[in-house]
Amino acid sequence: MNNPVLSLVLGRLLIAVVTLLIVSFAVFFATTLLPGDTATILLGQAATPEAVAGLRNAMHLDEPALFRFLRWIVGLLHGDLGTSYANEMPVAKLIAGRFINTMKLAGVTALFSVPIALSLGITAAMLRGSLYDRIVTILTIGVISVPEFMVATSAVLIFAVYLKWLPALSFANEIHSLSDMLRVYAMPVITLTFVVSAQMIRMTRAAVIETLNTPYVEMALLKGASRPRIVFRHALPNALGPIVNAVALSLSYLLGGVIIVETIFNYPGIAKLMVDAVATRDLPLIQSCAMIFCLGYLILITAADIIAILSNPRLR
C-alpha cells in the first residue's frame, strides 16, 4: 500500500485478531486443565458412575478437547456463549447484568483516575527536579509497590472499621439516590484509582519530559516562550501518542485488578461472577468471562496504538 498510515493501522488490526485467536485457544485449554471433574462437582460425591457418565455425555465432556474447542469457537462467532453448567441458563444472560456493573465501576474509576493522573504527571514534568516532583515520584513508587489487595484491605480498615464512613461491602443493586451511589462505589473506586493512577502518572511524566528534551522545544524556550506555553502548545501534542498508550495500559489494568477488588468488596460484577464460576468448574462461564476481559484489553491497546499512529506528524 502507498499510504503508510493505513498500512500500519491495518497491521495493528490484523495483529489484534490473531492475538485474540491465540488467546481463545489458550483460555479454552487452560480451563480444561482445572483440577476436578465438572460432572462430579455438579452432581456431588454421592452420584453414581452412570449418572456422572450421562452428564459428561450431555455436556460433551467426553469428546476430544479439539472438537469441543472448535464447537465453542463457532458458537462465539455466532454470538452463542454457551449454557452455564451450574445455573442451566444461557451464559449471555448471566453475564449481561454483571457486565453492566463492571463497566459502571470501570467508567467511574476512569472518570476520577485519568484527570488526576494526567494533571499530576504533566505538572511533575513541568516542575522536574522540584520538591513537588520528588513528592509525586515517591508517592507513585510507593503505591505501585503495594499490591491492590493491600490497598483494598487498608481502605476497609480506615474508612469502614475505624472511621465508619463507608460500608465494607458494595451492593450495586441497592442504589436509590446519589448518596447511595457514592457509598456503593466509594471504596472500590478509591482502591482502583490509587492503583491505576500511580502507573499512569509515571508514564505521563516520562513522556512529557522526553518531549521537553527535544530540539524544537529547546528552540521555543530560547525564543522566550513561557514554560506553560511550551508544554501545552508544543510538547503535549507531540507526546499525545505515549500519553494515550499510558492511559490505555493503565485502564486495561482495571480488567485484571477489578477481579480482586470485586471479590474483596463483594461487588456484583463480571469478575466476581468468574471467581464463583471457577469454584463450580462452570467452564462455559469461565471461558466467556476470560474472553471478555481479553477482548477489552485488546480493544484498549489496539485503540491506543492506532491513535499513536494517527497522531504521529511524520507519518501524516
Distances (CA, A) of 296 to 29, 102, 131, 170, 237: 20, 12, 38, 23, 26
Query: How is residue 157 annotated by DSSP?
Result: I
Q: What are phi and psi of 93, to 5 degrees?
A: -70, -35
The CATH number given to whatever domain includes residue 174 is 1.10.3720.10
70 lies in some domain: no
In the numeric block, which cell numbers belong to residue 295?
477482548
In the numeric block, which cell numbers belong to residue 290?
476470560
d(CA 267, CA 105): 9
How many domains, in total, are found in the chain?
Answer: 1
The predicted pLDDT at position 171 comes to 63
Q: What is the three-class DSSP state of 83?
A: strand
d(CA 91, CA 125): 47
292 lies in some domain: yes
315 lies in some domain: no
Write out pLDDT tens, residues 100-123.
888 888 888 888 889 999 999 989
Q: How many residues does the chain have?
A: 316
The predicted pLDDT at position 180 comes to 66
Q: Which residue type occupies 134?
A: R
139 lies in some domain: yes
d(CA 115, CA 144): 18
271 lies in some domain: yes
Residue ranges, the chain, pLDDT below 50: 1
d(CA 291, CA 285): 10
The predicted pLDDT at position 249 comes to 78
The runs of H, that is alpha helices, within the chain are 4-32, 38-43, 49-58, 65-77, 91-126, 131-145, 148-155, 178-212, 215-222, 227-229, 236-238, 240-264, 270-279, 283-310
Residue 289 lies in domain: 92-310
The predicted pLDDT at position 261 comes to 82
The predicted pLDDT at position 39 comes to 73
The predicted pLDDT at position 132 comes to 92
213 lies in some domain: yes
d(CA 213, CA 295): 36
d(CA 256, CA 264): 14
197 lies in some domain: yes
132 lies in some domain: yes
Write out pLDDT tens, residues 77-92.
888 888 888 777 888 8
The predicted pLDDT at position 14 comes to 92
